[in-house]
């Protein structure tokens, strides 16, 4: 009996604590929800800065009971006016909230870790979203669950329901659904997002039929708030394949699309890179080529950059609001104080000797490769009141650029064009590719701005301390500008009246009777 009594006392104690905790949650919930909504609106405004689009998330109503609450939210979006009419949409959500510390849904899964609330939300139908409900056969097309911890952290999952419907008599949509897992610390100082979708198929049978087939999208992001309101960390968006078919033309298949970025903070400086990749593009079952790009920044003062963005944001917000309402937007002008602040921020930013770089741009075709790399180092000038040419000299500390193009890339370009135009005569295509390879490389060499090493066209530039090294030759900035102007001043780029008549090997002209490209 003593053991039974102890168990009974324990159950009563847990029940009393749960009831007290549920009551406490009910009293705190309105303030917590409003804080979360304010943070979401701030993040949304920052993300949409410069797009002309504004969003607002708001709590419409909250019905609170002892162990649960029901909240209704409204999400609205305003876009710049089109044809004189402002564009406005609204989406409604309903949220069933179980009060902590031990919500029933977590108890049923034997999860005894105390939390403030457990949420289960879904989209509500309105005039805009009713067709989505119809496409999901009556189910809510968007649902989600979440948990709010006593430390202010959140953890949840958002699910887009599979859809199979015809939005118009001439179009169909088939969507596999999408799931995103989201975790965030208090005030979203740390955020993790992961998830993806299997497929999205779009088909239209209008005047120009089109089919789009997207497969295997994955999203991953792990970031935290740095010292200057910048999220630093890693993120990626990847799509395995995208196939597009327009009319009766063969399909274009794009494989391994990716956007991968990383932003890090070292002291007060931001350093980061972002890459955009296309693994392979194929047309009518034949590979065309791949593309890789990598951009990078170094030594960007976080506080100065944040201040410049804030100034820009303050100036842009009234313009966006006017655009959304279809009103005349105010001019973007700066007061004397704002100009002083902007110059001070620029001086601080340049004092850190920031660097901008196109670290890698590489196009790889079936038979060759072309690449470009550009690195720009900046420095603080003595004054922003200097003459433009002197200001540029002092601001650009160093510039390096290198271009490399295999001659075979030119021929591959001809083959790609022939495929797009439906040309099937293999012999004629190869003859044209060979001729245009020699002609194109000859024209490039004729400008004097590129050199030939083996079968690769190259050009290099190095600038520092008011001195230029161009393709291995040292010269002053003035001499370099004069050289470029003299080589590009005419349409022929220094080749004479008919640049297409020169051979790339010895500069001699083709015979007049020789076959010329159409």
Q: Which of 280, 215, 293, 289 is nearest to 253 (CA)?
A: 280
As for how many domains the chain has, the answer is 2
- Is a pLDDT exceeding 70 seen at residue 508? no
Asked, for residue 516, whether it belongs to a domain, the answer is no
Q: Which residues of 399-437 are buried (b: 16+ CB within 10 A; e: fewer)?
A: ebbebbbbbbbbbbbbbbebbeeeeeeeeebeebbebbb
Cβ–Cβ contacts within 10 Å for residue 148, how many? 22
Asked, for residue 454, whether it belongs to a domain, the answer is yes
Q: Mean pLDDT score of the chain, rounded to an integer? A: 85
Q: What digits encode the pLDDT tens for the residues 249-306?
A: 999 999 999 999 999 998 889 999 999 999 999 999 999 999 999 999 999 999 999 8
Cβ–Cβ contacts within 10 Å for residue 247, how many? 8
User: Mean pLDDT, to the nearest integer, of 22-50?
Assistant: 75
Q: Which of 139, 216, 146 is nearest to 176 (CA)?
A: 216
Distance CA 150, CA 25 (A): 10
Asked, for residue 327, whether it belongs to a domain, the answer is no
- Is a pLDDT exceeding 80 seen at residue 320? no
Task: Determine contact, residues 281/252, Cβ cutoff 8 Å.
Answer: yes
pLDDT for position 85: 66
Residue 24 Ramachandran class (φ > 0 left, ψ -120 to 50 alpha, else beta): alpha
Q: Report which listed range, 79-88, 89-98, 312-321, 493-502, is most confident.
A: 89-98
User: Mean pLDDT, to the nearest integer, of 368-375?
Assistant: 97
Asked, for residue 189, whether it belongs to a domain, the answer is no
Q: What digits encode the pLDDT tens for the residues 385-413?
A: 899 989 999 999 999 999 999 999 999 99
pLDDT for position 504: 38
pLDDT for position 350: 96
Residue that terminates a domain, selected from 115, 140, 161: 161
C-alpha separations of 266 from 49, 189, 352 in Å: 26, 18, 12
Residue that terminates a domain, selected from 134, 161, 188: 161
Q: What are residue 517's phi and psi, to 5 degrees?
A: -65, 145
Asked, for residue 313, whether it belongs to a domain, the answer is no
Asked, for residue 122, whether it belongs to a domain, the answer is yes
Range of the domain at 485: 358-501
Q: What digits encode the pLDDT tens for the residues 187-211?
A: 888 999 999 999 999 999 988 899 9
pLDDT for position 106: 79
pLDDT for position 195: 97
Q: Which of 188, 267, 272, 184 is nearest to 227 (CA)?
A: 267
Residue 106 corresponds to which tokens in the numbers above? 């977590």
Residue that terminates a domain, selected from 161, 176, 191: 161
The pLDDT > 90 percentage for the chain reads 54
Q: What digits encode the pLDDT tens for the residues 120-174?
A: 999 999 988 888 888 888 889 999 999 988 888 999 999 999 998 888 889 999 9
Is the entire prediction scored with pTM above 0.85?
A: no
The pLDDT > 70 percentage for the chain reads 86
Q: What digits encode the pLDDT tens for the residues 69-102?
A: 999 999 998 877 666 666 788 999 999 999 878 7
Task: Determine contact, residues 158/141, Cβ cutoff 8 Å.
Answer: no
- Is a pLDDT exceeding 60 seen at residue 491? no
pLDDT for position 492: 41
pLDDT for position 142: 94
pLDDT for position 422: 87
């Amino acid at each position: 009996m003593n053991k039974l009594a102890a168990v009974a006392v324990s159950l009563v104690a847990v029940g009393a604590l749960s009831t007290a905790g549920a009551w406490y949650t009910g009293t705190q919930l309105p303030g917590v929800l409003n804080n979360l909504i304010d943070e979401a609106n701030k993040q949304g405004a920052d993300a949409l800065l410069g797009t002309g689009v504004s969003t607002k998330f708001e709590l419409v109503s909250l019905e609170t009971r002892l162990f649960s609450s029901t909240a209704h939210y409204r999400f609205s979006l305003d876009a710049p006016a089109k044809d004189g009419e402002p564009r406005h949409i609204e989406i409604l959500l309903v949220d069933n909230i179980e009060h902590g510390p031990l919500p029933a849904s977590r108890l049923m899964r034997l999860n005894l870790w105390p939390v403030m609330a457990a949420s289960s939300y879904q989209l509500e139908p309105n005039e805009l979203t009713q067709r989505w409900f119809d496409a999901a056969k009556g189910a809510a097309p968007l649902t989600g669950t979440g948990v709010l911890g006593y430390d202010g952290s959140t953890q949840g999952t958002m699910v887009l329901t599979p859809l199979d419907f015809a939005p118009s008599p001439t179009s169909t949509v088939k969507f596999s659904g999408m799931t995103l897992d989201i975790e965030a610390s208090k005030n979203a100082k740390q955020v993790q997002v992961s998830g993806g979708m299997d497929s999205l198929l779009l088909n239209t049978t209008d005047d120009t039929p089109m089919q789009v087939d997207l497969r295997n999208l994955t999203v991953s992001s792990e970031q935290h708030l740095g010292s200057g309101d910048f999220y630093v960390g890693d993120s990626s968006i990847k799509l395995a394949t995208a196939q597009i078919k327009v009319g009766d033309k063969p399909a274009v298949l794009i494989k391994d699309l990716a956007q991968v970025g990383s932003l890090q903070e070292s002291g007060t400086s931001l350093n980061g890179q972002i890459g955009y990749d296309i693994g392979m593009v194929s047309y009518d079952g034949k590979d065309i080529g791949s593309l890789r790009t990598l951009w990078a920044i170094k030594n960007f003062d976080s506080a100065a950059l944040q201040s410049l963005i804030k100034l820009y944001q303050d100036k842009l917000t009234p313009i966006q609001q006017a655009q959304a309402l279809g009103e005349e937007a105010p001019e973007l002008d700066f007061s004397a104080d704002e100009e002083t602040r902007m110059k001070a921020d620029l001086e601080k930013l340049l004092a850190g000797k920031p660097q901008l770089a196109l670290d890698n741009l590489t196009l790889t075709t079936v038979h060759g490769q072309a690449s470009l790399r550009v690195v720009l180092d900046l420095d603080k000038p003595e004054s922003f009141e200097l003459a433009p040419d002197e200001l540029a000299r002092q601001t650009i500390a160093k510039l390096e650029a290198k271009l490399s193009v295999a001659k075979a890339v030119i021929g591959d370009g001809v083959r790609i064009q022939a495929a797009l135009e439906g040309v099937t005569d293999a012999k004629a295509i190869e003859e044209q590719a060979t001729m245009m390879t020699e002609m194109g490389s000859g024209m490039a060499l004729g400008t004097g701005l590129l050199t030939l090493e083996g079968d690769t066209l190259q050009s290099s530039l190095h600038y520092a301390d008011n001195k230029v090294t161009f393709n291995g030759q040292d010269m002053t900035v003035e001499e370099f500008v004069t050289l470029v102007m003299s080589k590009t001043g005419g349409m022929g780029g220094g080749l004479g009246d008919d640049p297409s008549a020169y051979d790339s090997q010895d500069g001699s002209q083709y015979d007049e009777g020789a076959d010329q490209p159409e």
